[in-house]
Amino acid sequence: METLRFGARGKEVERLQKRLLRLGFPPGNIDGDFGLGTEAAVLAFQRGKGLLADGVAGPRTLKALGLTEDDTLASVIPRITPQLVSRLFPFTFIGNIKVHLPFVLAGLEAHGLVDRPMVLMALATIRAESEGFVPVSEDRSRFNTSPNGHPFDLYDKRRDLGNRGRPDGERYRGRGFVQLTGRDNYARHGRQMGLKLLEQPDLACQPDIAGQLLGSFLRDKEREIKQALVADDLRVARRAVNGGSHGLDRFSDTYLRGLELLPDMP
């Protein structure tokens, strides 16, 4: 069953309306016209089920309604080429993109992040965190190292990151495409991937592992990210990953370029 949204018409919309009514979410007239009433009913159903509330009856919503068995999202992965990504990274050597893009796409596919919003989110995150399209280890800066302190001392006692004191700040500094940071993140995603990242944090910079970590990290934040994107709030989407607005200009530029260069599929 195809994705249904505002403006759609036909028998599938009528079927959707009947199911919403049966489940206690009346859409107004059962007329096969996806108008404001149907959109409001879909939104109410989504909120009640804890789904992304975007008013669109996509695969996950249709499955929750019992109208389909397949909740697979439409994949844009085959459309993501080095040439397209190069247009999103105007200052990046295309050779780096050709080498590392397969690892990034493999990591996204492994975690089910194949739809346009999350693929663009991943690429925008890479540009904000590691514009060279190479997994990197965080450099010292005024945000992580005090003027007279040892490297990354401002991270040492960050309880929000799970750090317990020196040398956790330096040991679990940002690494990879997504700049995985903090003892808790290394433990969580290492456990999910079956890797001993706490013992070997430098693994996070290996291209294949960095791609998988990008997918793992964004999958954990998917609902929060998508809700921000539905609201057209790129600052909140960026904060969901970074905790702040570092690199927001590059992030926003890449995401908005991507919307233009990668038209949504019907």
| CA nearest to 16, candidates 32, 36, 40 | 32
CATH 1.10.101.10 domain span(s) along the chain = 11-64
Residue 244: pLDDT band (50, 70, 90) is: confident
The pTM of the full predicted model, rounded to 2 decimals, is 0.88
At 200-214, the pLDDT tens digits run 999 999 999 999 999
Kindly state the percentage of the chain with pLDDT values over 70.
99
Task: Give 170-231 as a DSSP string.
Answer: HHT--EETTTB-SHHHHHHHHHHHT--TTT-GGGGGSHHHHHHHHHHHHHHTHHHHHHHHHT
Do the Cβ atoms of 104 and 208 come closer than 8 Å?
no
Identify whether 167 is preceded by a cis peptide bond (ω within 30 of 0). Answer: yes
At 11-30, the pLDDT tens digits run 999 999 999 999 999 999 99
pLDDT in the model for residue 104: 98
Which amino acid makes up residue 142?
R
Question: In the predicted model, is pLDDT for residue 265 greater than 70?
Answer: no
pLDDT in the model for residue 147: 96
At 131-174, the pLDDT tens digits run 999 999 999 999 999 999 999 999 999 999 999 999 999 999 99
Do the Cβ atoms of 89 and 254 come closer than 8 Å?
yes
Pick the CATH number of 11-64 from 2.160.10.10, 1.10.3720.10, 3.10.20.600, 1.10.101.10: 1.10.101.10
For the segment 115-127, the average pLDDT, to the nearest whole number, is 97
| CA nearest to 98, candidates 110, 112, 109, 84 | 84
At 66-81, the pLDDT tens digits run 999 988 888 999 999 9
Instruction: List the CATH code of the domain at 137-205.
Output: 3.30.20.10
Do the Cβ atoms of 210 and 204 come closer than 8 Å?
yes
At 23-49, the pLDDT tens digits run 999 999 999 999 999 999 999 999 999
Question: In the predicted model, is pLDDT for residue 243 greater than 90?
Answer: no
Strand 136-137, strand 175-176: pairing: antiparallel
Residue 2: pLDDT band (50, 70, 90) is: confident
Count of beta carbons in the 10 Å neighbourhood of residue 155: 25
CATH 3.30.20.10 domain span(s) along the chain = 137-205
Ramachandran angles phi, psi of 233, nearest 5°? -110, 85
